[in-house]
Structure formats: structure tokens, C-alpha cells
Amino acid sequence: MVWMKRILAQQRLHIQLQECIRKNAANTLSMANMLMGLSSILCILKGHHYFASWLLLIGYLLDLADGAVARQLNACSSLGAKLDDFADFTTFGIASALLLPIHSVLDGLLVICYIMTVFTRLCFFSSGIPFMYRGLPCAYASVILACTNLLSRGNLLILQLTAILMVLLMVDKGLYPHDKILESQSWKKLVYAGGIVMILCSSVPSACVYYLVWSASYILFPAALWSYKD
């Protein structure tokens, strides 16, 4: 009887462990996204803008994955939604905005404006239309800004013009589809896999062009290319 109790105890422990993993897998990805944002901020403070930009791109991939994992494992929760918002604000709001050099009061105001725009997007992103966002999701704006930083080598004017354009797109009333890339057609999953490969090629600055084209296609052809389809 003792060995039977031990077996049952081990089975219960195994079931509890599986349930814990199921419930927290997506939250772990959200926390990893936040970690990328915080690491990016530290890199920016140390002057390592190149690494900071690539950390933002990694955060973008993690952001696409956490929602998909939560839905696939039936682990959506209010805690997970809050963690996702906090992670997005850290990575795509604060860290992304700090890519903009601050040499004057106006430069600082642009940084604050960008951060507040992301904050507003995260608070009021729902369009009331199923599977649609109102305004450009902040993750894509962050990708565009990070890629611009990499390709322009931190050119102040180009970064500021890009940031202003992203702010306008985020507050715009245009509709953008939910980016359920990992739950849609196979070619979109291949696009995501290509993004992972580009991270491995991050020593080559031009590798970020892949992300630039990816995000630009979402902005230019949202419904035609990126609407959610099984």
C-alpha cells in the first residue's frame, strides 16, 4: 500500500506540474518580453543602441508568441492580459521611445509623446470590431523604429520623422487585423520562423530589413495580407 500511495502522490505532483506549466507558459513569454524591454533600456543608457534595437525585435517575436500560446493552451486570464500590457508598455513604449536621442526640450517632448501614445493605445486598443485593432499596434511601430535606428545608424532627423509617423499611425482610426500569425496560414508561420533566423544573423545590420519589410507590409496591406485566416 505504501508504494501505491507513492505512485499516486507522484501522479498528482506530475498533474499539478503540468497544470502549472499550462497556466504560466504564456505569462513566462510576457515576462521574457518585459525582460527584453528592460535590457534594451539598460543598453540604451550604456550607449549600446545596436543591441538595444535587436532586443526590441526579440521582444516583438515574444509578443506574437505569448497570445498564441495562451489561446492554444486555453490559459487566457486577467493576470496574463495585465502582464502582456505591462510588457508591451515597457518594451514598445519606454524602451522604443528611448531610442530617440534627447538633445533639447523638443526632443524630450517627442519621447514623452511617443510613450503616452503607446500608453493610450494599450488602454483603448479595442475597435469594437471582432479581430480588428483601431490604430497601428505599438509592436509594429516599435519594429519600424528599431529597424530605422539600425539602418540609419541612429540618425537623429530620420529617427524623429519615423517616430512622428508612427505616432500618427497609432492614433489614427484606421483598422488593423489581429496579428495571430502563429494561428493562421502556414506561410505566416514561415515568416515568423524567418524572423527567428534573422535574430541569429543579428551580427549583420542589414538582417533587420526582413523585419522592416514584414512590418511595412502589415501597415500597407493589413487586410489583404495579414487578416486572420485558419
Q: What mean pLDDT comes out for the span 102-107?
A: 91
Q: Is the pLDDT of residue 125 over 90?
A: no
pLDDT at 209: 94
Q: What mean pLDDT comes out for the span 157-176?
A: 91
pLDDT at 127: 47
| Residue among 64, 221, 215 at smallest CA distance from 148 | 215
Q: Residue 151: which region, alpha, beta or left (left: phi > 0; alpha: psi -120 to 50)?
A: alpha
85 versus 92: the higher-pLDDT residue is 92
pLDDT tens digit string along 24-66?
667 788 899 999 999 999 999 999 999 999 999 999 999 988 7
Amino acid at 97: A
Q: Residue 102: which region, alpha, beta or left (left: phi > 0; alpha: psi -120 to 50)?
A: beta
User: Which strand (E) or helix (H) includes residue 81?
Assistant: helix 78-88
7 versus 150: the higher-pLDDT residue is 150
pTM, entire model = 0.87
Amino acid at 206: S
pLDDT at 3: 60
Q: What mean pLDDT comes out for the span 131-153?
A: 89
Quick check: helix, strand or coil at residue 41? helix
Residue identified by cell 532627423 is 157
d(CA 182, CA 63): 11
Tell me, rounded to whole angstroms, the distance of Cα 84 from its chain centroid: 9
Angle CA(110)–CA(115)–CA(118) in degrees, nearest 5?
125
pLDDT at 205: 77
User: Which strand (E) or helix (H) includes residue 176?
Assistant: strand 175-177
Sequential DSSP letters for 102-154: --SHHHHHHHHHHHHHHHHHHHS-B-SSTTEEES--HHHHHHHHHHHHHHHTS
Q: What mean pLDDT comes out for the span 77-88?
A: 79
pLDDT at 90: 95
pLDDT at 114: 96
Contact indicator for 52, 43 with CB cutoff of 8 Å: yes
